[in-house]
Structure 1
Amino acid sequence: MDDITLEAIKAAQQQIAGQIIHTPVLDLRQTGLEELLPKSSNAVMKLELFQKAGSFKARGNLLSVQALTPDQRAAGVTAASGGNHALALAWAAQAAGTSAKIAIPKTADPIRIDGCRALGAELVLCDDIHEVFSVMEQIADTEGRSVVHPFEGYNMSLGAATCGAEMFEDTANLDVVILPVGGGGLISGMSKALKLLNPSIEIFGVEPYGADSMFRSFQSSTPERLDKVETIADSLGSPTALPYSYELTRENVTDIARVTDDELRATMRLMNSALKLMVEPACAASLTGALGPLKEHCAGKNIGLLACGANISRDRFMGLVG
């Protein structure tokens, strides 16, 4: 695949300008939060949860759909998703005038399922996250639809790179950036952009213990596949790491930290009380890393965090944190 360069990132930013939201960066000095952060640190959070379709994935999906040939647009697109990718692809497909047929777990938050259908996507409900990927391939084979993979691909990583470039543009003197990790589409692109713009920035990923394919891949130096995914952070629940996103991540990321579901729940409560945000578990991962396994390392540093998405219903949120 093509390499991600500063020129490519700038061109992608110009291509999607006006179609996505340049999301804000929040200074994390709120009462109830500031005192919990690493000692003598300054932390900011880029609020990608306010992005089109509710997550950072709008960027890569828009680039992916716009790259289709006329024949490919006529045939439509397909994908596998825990929900956020599905919403973003449904939105991008509708904007481009093409159709989307997406495999999604039947356990996905109803707000995601209903949202996809409202955007005109056809859904195939599957038993689990493993099945959605095989169903995606079946749809592509039988219907000729183009696969827009949830994390593996140049345009998905390039879309995330535009988010990294925005963070760098809006935030001065970052020492450390902490990012959530699902399959690796987000961290691969954001880390590449940030390292191109400032090679001295340290970048860490955060995964749930129950979906730690990238952590295991870092340990073995090859993309790993999980036999089982078990975490409340369904948006981070990829069963596998794959070569392109893994290699970009390995090239630019210092290490991967892991957090428990209970730690994610605690951060969801904290973001709700201190920031007045109702976020999904994946959206709490960056801050959880800063407050937990990476706290000592981040003392005295300028920290960048990402709130990656918040497609969660009130019922699901309360069920997780109540």
Structure 2
Amino acid sequence: MIGPTLDKIIAAMAEVQADLIETPVLPLASARWNGILPDCAGVTVKLELFQQAGSFKARGALLGMRHLDAAQRAAGVVAASGGNHALAVSWAAQAAGVDALIAMPKATDPARIAGCEAQGGTVTLHDDMAAAFAAMTAAAQDGRTLMHPFEAEHMILGSATCGYEYAVQAPHIDTFVVPIGGGGMISGMACAIKHMNPDAQIIGVEPFGADSMSQSFAAGKPVRLDQVSTIADSLGAPLAMPLTYAVAHAHVDRIVRIADREMLAAMEIYQNVLRITAEPACAASLAAILGPLRDDLAGRQVGIIACGSNISLDRYAVLMAAL
């Protein structure tokens, strides 16, 4: 089976569970959801936005930090990210006593930059994500350990702990709908869930403007996009990469795409019904079951994930003004 074994996933859970949060699952069954949800047997959401550092990324970042040797710890780590991964690496590095250099685009939400700095990360700003990745690569060549946002075994394994945890918490779920950025989350979650329930259906969700995994599935190999255009910066990976592509391709049943306006509508629903201020990526699963999947879920027990939400109120207001 491609990806981490069940024994390895369980061992990773044991290694990090004392420092992570077992994020809750919530059945969306109250009267407030009447007329909103699709006609299916039930919908459950895993509230991973309550995880350390505000997203699922903390799981993989913590595992990566735990696996550094003494020389790597002394040299420090480097990451490139516009949001959740940057915050997760800053948090995990501070907890481990490791110096973290974080390369971020200049357009990053100021609240995310401040969050990294508050957790001890040293932030450098660059023209765009490509320039931030170039700075990360240069720092790695100078001796820092590269903490890639998705293309790393520890990131897949961290996401697998989330999938395992979800499957244990809600064993009745037979259809999981998971957002895709670079593929680290869905590859790990899908692998773990398939270990627990081989008959479970795993459906990925991508924005139309950042659909590298959809295109990669169609091409049969990892694809790089010419450009990325989506409000969901946490899902804006410009390419699929070999490791995460291979694990996702082995375990994900299908991928659907959603428009930015569908994520905005789902963000508004989270705010109005659950009083959750969701970033676009956090609302992607909900947007998918209300949109392209709405007529495909009859009789299914559906699991969605609110994968993280690190967004300032100013940025949230700007986005919602476009709805």
Give the TM interval when normalised to the shorter protein. Answer: over 0.9
> The residue matched to 2:78 in structure 1 has which SS?
strand
290-299 or 193-202: bigger deviation: 290-299
Amino acid at match of 1:215: S
Question: Which residue is equivalent to 2:161?
Answer: 162
| 1:182-221 pair list within 5 angstroms | 182-221=181-220
Amino acid at match of 1:134: A
Q: CA deviation at 1:216?
A: 0.5
| 1:89-168 pair list within 5 angstroms | 89-142=89-142, 144-168=143-167
Question: Which residue is equivalent to 1:7?
Answer: 7
Amino acid at match of 1:156: M
Q: CA deviation at 1:251?
A: 0.3
CA contact (8 A) 1:38 1:300 kept: no
Amino acid at match of 1:282: A
Q: CA deviation at 1:139?
A: 1.2
- Spell out, residue by residue over 1:95-136, the C-alpha distance to the aligned partner (whole angstroms, 9 max, x if none): 111001011111111111000001111111112222221111
1:104, 1:26 → 2: CA distance? 33
CA contact (8 A) 1:182 1:235 kept: yes
Amino acid at match of 1:305: I
2:34, 2:13 → 1: CA distance? 33
Q: CA deviation at 1:41?
A: 2.7
> The residue matched to 2:35 in structure 1 has which SS?
helix
Q: CA deviation at 1:255?
A: 1.1
1:122, 1:40 → 2: CA distance? 47
CA contact (8 A) 1:231 1:237 kept: yes
> The residue matched to 1:296 in structure 2 has which SS?
helix
Question: Which residue is equivalent to 1:176?
Answer: 175
CA contact (8 A) 2:40 2:297 kept: no
> The residue matched to 1:35 in structure 2 has which SS?
coil
1:69, 1:169 → 2: CA distance? 32
127-136 or 236-245: bigger deviation: 127-136
Q: CA deviation at 1:235?
A: 0.4
Q: Does 1:270 align with 2:286?
A: no
Equivalent pairs, count: 320
2:129, 2:248 → 1: CA distance? 22
Q: CA deviation at 1:25?
A: 0.1
TM-score normalised over the length of structure 2: 0.97
Amino acid at match of 1:139: A
2:19, 2:311 → 1: CA distance? 23
1:155, 1:243 → 2: CA distance? 15
> The residue matched to 2:214 in structure 1 has which SS?
helix
Q: Does 1:255 align with 2:259?
A: no
Q: CA deviation at 1:29?
A: 1.8
Amino acid at match of 1:101: L
Question: Which residue is equivalent to 1:56?
Answer: 56
Q: CA deviation at 1:8?
A: 0.4
What is the Cα-based RMSD across aligned positions, in Å?
1.1
2:211, 2:36 → 1: CA distance? 26
| 1:16-95 pair list within 5 angstroms | 16-95=16-95
Question: Which residue is equivalent to 2:297?
Answer: 298
1:178, 1:129 → 2: CA distance? 27
Question: Which residue is equivalent to 2:319?
Answer: 320
CA contact (8 A) 1:268 1:278 kept: yes
Amino acid at match of 1:107: A
Q: CA deviation at 1:152?
A: 0.5
- Spell out, residue by residue over 1:26-54, the C-alpha distance to the aligned partner (whole angstroms, 9 max, x if none): 11123443422221330000000000000
Question: Which residue is equivalent to 1:237?
Answer: 236
Amino acid at match of 2:65: V
CA contact (8 A) 1:40 1:299 kept: yes
Q: Does 1:288 align with 2:290?
A: no
Amino acid at match of 1:108: T
CA contact (8 A) 2:3 2:191 kept: no
Q: CA deviation at 1:184?
A: 0.3
1:73, 1:218 → 2: CA distance? 37
> Gapped runs of 5+ residues in structure 2?
none
1:281, 1:33 → 2: CA distance? 20
Q: CA deviation at 1:180?
A: 0.5
Amino acid at match of 1:279: A
TM-score normalised over the length of structure 1: 0.97
2:135, 2:31 → 1: CA distance? 47
2:163, 2:222 → 1: CA distance? 23
306-315 or 128-137: bigger deviation: 128-137
Amino acid at match of 2:149: P
Q: CA deviation at 1:3?
A: 4.2
